[in-house]
């Protein structure tokens, strides 16, 4: 179970207080009624709110909504809307937590978004908790019926083209995106794939307006975001924090912290003094995973564990990813073991250059980002390893990696 302490950072917007799931009555009492019937007003409010996607790419929600609505008009096909709760990232718990505590907020947002783009079909894609969400849906009287889709538990299942493929009846694998999913997605209809947290924010913007939304965050990045916070020796927590808040206030960054992993397994390692000052930023936080690495642990070993997992999670469709990721993972594993390094560092740098930007999805790019940041942030530890030393004292695995043997 993931602990939630939403009140620590701001008055909670998304997560039901007290860690108790909000049923429909509680939800309606807390947030008030939701008015349908003004899709243009919703589009305007979303545009003025500055809301960006919370699935990791931080794309402007308004622009995506308009692109899907336009594609629908242009092609004469009613769009499909997919609420993306397929949180394939093992270190991220925020979508699962949101769906468990505030399912109706997400479902409200799904209806609002569907109406804004003129959709006639809606799906909610999740890995877990499908029956719980079906029960929540059965209590509502929504304008548009929602189909709950159970997706395979894989890192890439939540990738938007993989989701569109899966709902169309094919395997949940990323596809070449030209034209993009927003123009040709589920069964070739224009498709809006939007992260569940994003939809929850949409439900609030539709109720309370853009000015209210902008009371949290910064003028350039308004609003708040859910973060999954990993601190060694403590329960994993999901917190809601406003953009602009220094990372050092979201998780404790102490003298015993050597680095912070920002943005999860497609994210970046940042040395702790620098991380403490960095503001929470939509363009660097990915899907909001923050993990503190204590000085007792070896950042190279942790990175090698994650890289092995990422290489295994490659869909194996694209040559550079299929070839490059296992080679980078194996080479990194050899760097994690103290001893002579030969040409390993330059090999890794070359392979990183060869996989970057050469895939149907961003799996190679995200993996490259993690690799490069590890080589920089743990440079002195790399030098120590080259001399046959490792400064870590604790070999217990830290970051969650499924199916590790």
Partner 1 sequence: MTHPAQHIDIDWAACQGHGLCAELLPDHITLDEWGYPLVEGTPVPARTAKRARRAAEDCPVLALKLAMR
Helical residues (DSSP H) of 139-195, grouped into ranges = 160-167
User: x/- binding map, residues 142-181, to partner 1, per CB under 8 A?
Assistant: -------------------------------xxxx-x---
As measured in angstroms, the least distance from the Cβ of 325 to partner 1 is: 12
d(CA 163, CA 158): 6
Beta strands across the sheet bearing 224-230:
3-4, 237-242, 224-230, 289-294, 257-262, 268-271
Q: What are the tokens at 112?
A: 């609002």
Residue 324 Cβ vs partner 1, minimum distance, rounded to whole Å:
8
The smaller minimum CB distance to partner 1, of residues 4 and 367, is found at 367
Identify which of residues 137 and 321 has a Cβ nearer to partner 1 in the complex: 321
Looking at residues 339 to 368 of the shown chain, list those that interact with partner 1 (rule: CB under 8 A). 354, 358-360
Size of the site for partner 1 (CB under 8 A): 17
CB of 252 to partner 1, least distance (A): 41
DSSP-assigned beta bridge partners for residue 60: 52
Pairing of strands 268-271, 257-262: antiparallel
State the pairing for strand pair 237-242/3-4: parallel
- Report the Cα–Cα distance between both ends of the chain, in Å, rounded: 23
Measure Cα distances from 401 to 154, 215, 314 in Å.
Answer: 12, 37, 15
326 binds partner 1 (CB under 8 A): no
Q: 252 vs 353, which CB is nearer to partner 1? A: 353
Region of 110-118, 122-130, 200-208, 311-319 interacting with partner 1 (CB under 8 A): 311-319
Nearer to partner 1, 142 or 347 (CB): 347
Q: Residue 298 in 3-state DSSP?
A: coil
Complex with partner 1: residue 176 or 395, whichever CB lies closer: 176
Phi, psi dihedrals of residue 253, rounded to the nearest 5°: -115, 105
Give the DSSP letter of residue 261: E
Q: Looking at beta carbons only, is 263 or 364 nearer to partner 1? A: 364
**311 scored as a contact of partner 1 (CB under 8 A):** no
Nearer to partner 1, 42 or 321 (CB): 321
Partnered with residue 226 across adjacent β-strands are: 240
105 binds partner 1 (CB under 8 A): no
Piece of 126-134, 222-230, 305-313, 315-323 that binds partner 1 (CB under 8 A): 315-323
Separation CA 188–CA 168 (nearest Å): 9
* Among residues 75, 168, 295, 323, the one that binds partner 1 under rule CB under 8 A: 323
**Between 349 and 354, CB nearer to partner 1:** 354
Q: How far apart are CA 312 and CA 156, in angstroms?
A: 11
Which residue's CB is nearer to partner 1, number 177 or number 333? 177
CA distance 127 to 149: 8
Closest separation between CB of residue 270 and partner 1, Å? 30
Helix residue ranges per DSSP H, 93-159: 94-101, 103-117, 130-138
Shortest reach from residue 62's CB to partner 1, in Å: 24
Site residues, partner 1 (CB under 8 A): 173-176, 178, 315, 317-321, 323-324, 354, 358-360
């Amino acid at each position: 179970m993931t602990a939630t302490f939403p009140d620590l950072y701001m008055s909670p917007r998304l997560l039901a207080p007290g860690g108790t799931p909000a049923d429909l009555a509680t939800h309606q009492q807390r947030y008030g009624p939701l008015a349908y019937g003004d899709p243009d007003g919703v589009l305007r409010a979303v545009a003025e709110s500055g809301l960006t996607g919370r699935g990791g790419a931080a794309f402007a929600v308004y622009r995506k909504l308009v692109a899907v609505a336009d594609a629908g008009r242009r092609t004469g096909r009613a769009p499909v809307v997919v609420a993306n709760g397929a949180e394939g990232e093992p270190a991220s718990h925020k979508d699962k937590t949101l769906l468990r505590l505030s399912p109706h907020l997400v479902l409200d947002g799904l209806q609002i978004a569907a109406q804004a783009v003129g959709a006639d079909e809606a799906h909610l894609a999740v890995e877990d908790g499908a029956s719980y969400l079906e029960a929540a849906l059965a209590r509502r009287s929504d304008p548009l019926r929602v189909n709950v889709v159970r997706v395979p538990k894989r890192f890439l299942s939540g990738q938007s083209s993989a989701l569109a493929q899966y709902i169309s009846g094919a395997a949940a694998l990323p596809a070449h995106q030209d034209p993009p999913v927003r123009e040709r997605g589920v069964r070739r209809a224009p498709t809006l794939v939007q992260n569940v947290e994003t939809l929850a924010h949409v439900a609030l913007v539709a109720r309370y307006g853009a000015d209210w939304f902008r009371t949290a965050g910064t003028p350039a990045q308004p609003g708040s975001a859910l973060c999954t916070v990993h601190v060694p020796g403590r329960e994993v927590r999901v917190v809601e924090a406003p953009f602009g808040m220094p990372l050092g206030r979201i998780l404790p960054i102490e003298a015993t912290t050597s680095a912070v992993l920002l943005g999860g397994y497609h994210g970046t390692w940042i040395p702790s003094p620098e991380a403490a000052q960095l503001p929470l930023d939509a363009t660097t936080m990915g899907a909001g995973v923050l993990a503190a690495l204590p000085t007792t642990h070896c950042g190279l070993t942790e990175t090698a564990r994650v890289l092995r997992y990422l290489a295994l999670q490659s869909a194996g469709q694209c040559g550079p990813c299929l070839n490059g990721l296992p080679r980078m993972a194996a080479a990194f594993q050899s760097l994690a073991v103290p001893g002579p390094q030969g040409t390993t560092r330059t090999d890794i740098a070359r392979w990183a250059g060869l996989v970057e930007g050469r895939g149907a999805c961003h799996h190679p790019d995200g993996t490259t980002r993690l690799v490069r940041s590890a080589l920089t942030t743990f440079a002195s530890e790399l030098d120590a390893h080259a001399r046959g030393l490792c400064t870590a004292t604790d070999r217990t695995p830290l970051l969650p990696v499924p199916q590790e043997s």
